[in-house]
Amino acid sequence: MTNATANLLYSEEHEWVLQLDENRVRIGISDYAQKQLGDIVFVENPVVNDEITANESMGTIESVKAVSELYAPVSGSVTRVNEGLNDTPEAINKNPYKEGWLIEVEISNPEELELLLNQDEYEAFISEGEE
């Protein structure tokens, strides 16, 4: 099974969300997603001060297999970008929940967090997709 983490929320597009405080979150892609992508070679993240909208594209991630869209799990303003991924995008493959995070966002609609999946719901979602 996946290496999902209990304190995270997940989107059906396989992004995770870690709530840092009341209005700030960190976003990345799930362990399941990085395994499906294979070796990641490039990430195009939004930049600081970009506005992102839930369920809309916020960038791309490129692996040796394909280029995939990154979808925003929540709406808000980008406050921080993981610049380390510019030189070492493979950090996402090594640990998507720690040094492989993508961006931090000041969320504009905290209620959107309630629409995301918890760990059990996400694992059930993945299992349904593999059947």
Residue 2 lies in a domain: no
Give the structural domain span for 124. 9-130
Of 32, 43, 70, 42, nearest in space to 54 by CA? 70
> Which pair of tokens denotes residue 75?
């709406």
pLDDT for position 78: 98
Q: How far apart are CA 36 and CA 51, in angstroms?
A: 28
Residue 1 lies in a domain: no
Residue 25 lies in a domain: yes
Measured at the alpha carbon of residue 19, what is the angle toward residues 110 and 109, in degrees to the nearest 5? 15
Residue 3 lies in a domain: no
110: which DSSP letter? G
Residue 66 lies in a domain: yes
Domain CATH for 95? 2.40.50.100
pLDDT for position 6: 75
The total number of structural domains that make up the chain: 1
Which ranges of the chain have pLDDT less than 70?
A: 1-4, 130-131
Q: Which residues sit opposite 105 in a β-bridge?
A: 25, 78
Q: How many CB atoms lie within 10 A of CB 27?
A: 25
pTM above 0.85, yes or no: yes
pLDDT for position 1: 42
> Kind and range of the H or E element at 125?
helix 119-130
